[in-house]
Amino acid sequence: MQPYVVTIASEKGGVGKTTLATNLAIYLKALREDLPVTLFSFDNHFSVDQMFRIGNRQPTGDVYSLLTGTPFTELLETGEFGVQFIPSSLRLGELRDRMSDPALLGNLLCQADLQGVVLIDTRPDLDEFTANALYCADRVIVPVKDAPSLENSRRLYRFFEHHELSRQALRILPCLVDSRIRYQEGPFTNPYQLLKAYALNRGYRCMEGFIAKSPKVESLNTNPEGKVYPILTHGRGTEVHLQLASQARQLLLDVDAADRHRLAEMADARTSLLQRRQQGHRQRLERLSGRCLACGEQLPAAGIEGFYLETGDGNQAGFIESDCFTDMVFGSVYQGGRGKPSQNGMQELFLESATRSYFALAVPPRADGPVFFRFDEDGRELSSRPVATNTRDGLFNRGPSSLLKFWNHLEKQIPGEFALLRKGPDGQAEEILAGNNYRAFSQVKQLVGMRLQGI
């Protein structure tokens, strides 16, 4: 069974996120000793490490290692109170681009073979790391200490709406509430009642109770020893001790009541996506011609050296061997003869640069005939040249081929369409049909189609 994920998140700093996350882990373990509890943080304060590390043991990895593919089993440390933790990292900023997919962390957790409860401490910012922690969470606890921090929580709710996630996972928890304050007038007698009323008025659900402001608890994080002490052992005489125990009990009730965890949903969705992609890959392979589209020679089942061609409507697809393609291009676009040393060098240079380009054949609205386009990997036009009308004999033979004849033959099957070509990996051109390679091809094809319509 996948673990129950609890994310502590707030865009406002100084609301007690890390204190809440670290101490909840301890209280959960204290209330249910046989429950596996795992904790890690995307913040760089290293409070998790300071509280849980036993002795001076050197970590084998950290959260950075986790996000770059190191298995959980190699990173988990068993710390104080039996809480498992992954050390923090100062290098997370290097991974922002990698974390742009909010499902990345959840997919890693799905494969981690963890159980029990996973607690994630986040930064005071809705960045890529916080987004990943929110996306995989069964419960999101949002600490707020005043009206501004409550207002900041709106972006968290918008994130859930944007990704079509249930807002029921979110819970507001008033923290650092000064219990000494009493209001003399109005319907509310203390800050907790006021914050809870504000939250409910905005349609936000709340955890039962609050976490009080306590000088004693604050001293556990700031002391001459430079250590972080847990409230369970060093703050039992405070009201915060009872409040944290209450919050931990609420979480345990949520864990017990959950029929299905968010990570299980993500695992099923990922399995379904992989199945659809595999089916799409099979279908793409099945519709291919087994012969070179230019010369007609039989292609190998694997190890193709050439260009993949697909028409705008997707109905025609296949491979053109590299020699055939360069013969056609240099015979009908660049007007060079094969066999000349200088021309051979240009063709080699063309093939090398082709790995960073897309090519298209189309008849633009105001053109007299087909035009040969070159686009970069973002679908931006780099150049365009008309296809020469003078042709060479032997289109379906080895040797120089005519791009015009090839296009005329192809256009009969795709009237009004265009053809997009991309050089496949050297000796493995068929890999262009798999996974991210084909998704990139499809995205560029869509962009090229729109650009050609606007010419």
Of 222, 237, 269, the residue that ends a domain is 269
pLDDT tens digit sequence for 266-304: 999 999 998 998 998 888 888 888 899 999 999 998 899
Q: For residue 340, what pLDDT is reported?
A: 53
The continuous run of DSSP H or E covering 219 comes out as helix 215-221
Residue 208 counted as domain residue: yes
Consecutive H or E run containing 4: strand 4-8
Q: What is the pTM of this model?
A: 0.77
For residues 358 and 189, the model is more confident at 358
Structural domain includes residue 274: no
Whether residue 127 is contained in a domain is answered as yes
In sequence order, which residues have a C-beta less than 8 Å from that of residue 416 and are 6 or more positions away? none
For the cut 50, the answer to whether the pLDDT of residue 203 exceeds it is yes
Over residues 226-270, the pLDDT tens digits come to 788 999 999 999 999 999 999 999 999 999 999 999 999 999 999
In a domain, 65, yes or no: yes
Considering only CA atoms, give the Rg of the chain: 31
Among 208, 239, 269, identify where a domain stops: 269
Residue 280 lies in a domain: no
Please indicate, yes or no, whether residues 237 and 292 belong to a single structural domain of this protein: no
Same domain? 197 vs 336: no
Tell me whether residue 445 is in a domain.
yes
Domains contained in the chain, number: 2
CATH of the domain at 54: 3.40.50.300
Q: How far is CA 50 from CA 55, 71, 80, 161, 221, in A?
A: 10, 23, 10, 36, 10
CA 25 to chain centre: 27
CA–CA gap between residue 350 and residue 236 (Å, rounded): 74
Q: Are residues 260 and 330 in the same domain?
A: no
Number of H helices, E strands in the chain: 16, 13
184 shares its domain with 69: yes
* pLDDT value, residue 108: 95
Cα torsion 323, 326, 331, 332: sign: positive
Q: 233 with 328, same domain?
A: no
Query: Taking Cα atoms as reference points, which of 67, 159, 73, 69 lies closest to residue 105?
Result: 67
Mean pLDDT within 362-368: 86
User: Are both 217 and 318 inside the same structural domain?
Assistant: no
Residue 357 placed within a domain? yes
342 pLDDT higher than 70:
no
Best CA proximity match to 294, nearest among 267, 258, 326? 326
Based on the fold, state whether residues 365 and 424 are members of the same structural domain.
yes
Alpha carbons 399 and 326: distance in angstroms, whole number: 10
What whole-number distance in Å separates Cα of residue 67 and Cα of residue 135? 15
> Contacts for 95-99 with beta carbons within 8 Å, 24 or more apart?
95/64, 95/67, 95/68, 95/128, 96/127, 96/128, 98/67, 98/68, 99/67, 99/128, 99/129, 99/131, 99/132
Cβ neighbours of residue 263 under 8 Å, at least 6 residues apart? 2, 3, 5, 106, 109, 110, 136
Residues of the chain above pLDDT 70, percent = 95
Task: Tell whether 243 and 297 lie within a shared domain.
Answer: no
Are 228 and 357 contained in the same domain? Answer: no
The tokens for 453 are: 């319509």
Report yes or no on 279 lying in a domain.
Answer: no
Distance (Å) of CA 403 to CA 338, 340, 369, 407, 429 = 14, 20, 12, 6, 21
Please list, in sequence order, all residues whose beta carbon lies within 8 angstroms of the beta carbon of residue 36, skipping any fewer than 6 positions away. Answer: 3, 84, 114, 115, 116, 117
What is residue 347's predicted lDDT score, i.e. its pLDDT? 81
Q: Domain residues for 329? A: 288-454
pLDDT at residue 400 in the model: 38
What does the pLDDT look like over 17-74, one tens digit per residue? 999 999 999 999 999 999 999 999 998 888 999 899 988 878 889 999 999 999 988 9
Ramachandran angles phi, psi of 41, nearest 5°? -130, 140
Summary mean pLDDT of the chain: 90
Within this chain, do residues 292 and 260 fall inside the same structural domain, yes or no?
A: no
